[in-house]
Structure formats: C-alpha cells, structure tokens
Amino acid sequence: MKAYDTIFLDRDGTLNPDPGYIASLRDFTFFDFALPALQKLKDNRFCIVTNQSGVSRGIIEQNELNKIHHYVQTAFKDHGLDLLDIFVCNDHPDHATERRKPGTGMFF
C-alpha cells in the first residue's frame, strides 16, 4: 500500500458519529471501524482538522473540547497510530476566517 507523508482527517462524521455538537467526553465515541481501519494505514502519519464552532457559540466549553482531543490522541497512540496534531477552528460561521474549513488556513 502506498505510504503518504501525512493523511489529513476530519473528526466528526469521519472518526466518530456526528449527532450535532459533542459537548463532553461522555458524548464522544469512535465509529467501531475507525481505528482498526486507520491501523491498515499505520505506516502513515495523521493530522486531524476540525471545525468546532460550538465553542464560539457557547455550546462547548474549551476545557471539554480539550478532554475530547486528549482522549483522541491517547486512542491513536494506544493503537500505534502516529497522530501529529489536532488542528481546530473555533470560528463561528458568521465570522469565519480562512482557518475554517473548507478554507485552507488550517492546512497551511
């Protein structure tokens, strides 16, 4: 299988179900297939890029988002996956910068 320098992943709807805003760690769960599927690509590095406007909307506390992402980082490590970082854009869609996907700011 071809190895890439880095594979960029979205979070919600890709790694985990997306029921709307996930406001706490107790509401976060990986898809059953997500980590095993990524292990098939374990010779690659990964980055997660995710819009989390729930923070700017007052729906998600930043410390809860940090807990979720710490859990994600730990799960990747426990499955032997090289997660370089999780890049987050908390911009509200009405006041979005180029960082908010589909903008390219988080990529650069």
pLDDT, tens only, 75-85: 999 999 999 99
User: pLDDT tens across 52-64, in order?
Assistant: 999 999 999 999 9
Q: Where are the domains of the chain?
A: 6-95
In terms of Cα–Cα distance, which of 26, 24, 21 is closest to 56?
Answer: 21
**Three-state DSSP class for residue 36:** helix
Run of H or E residues at 69: helix 62-78
Fold classified for 6-95: Rossmann fold (3.40.50)
Which pLDDT score, from 0 to 100, does residue 1 have? Answer: 60
Question: Residues with catalytic annotation?
Answer: 10, 12
Tell me the whole-structure pTM to 2 decimals: 0.92
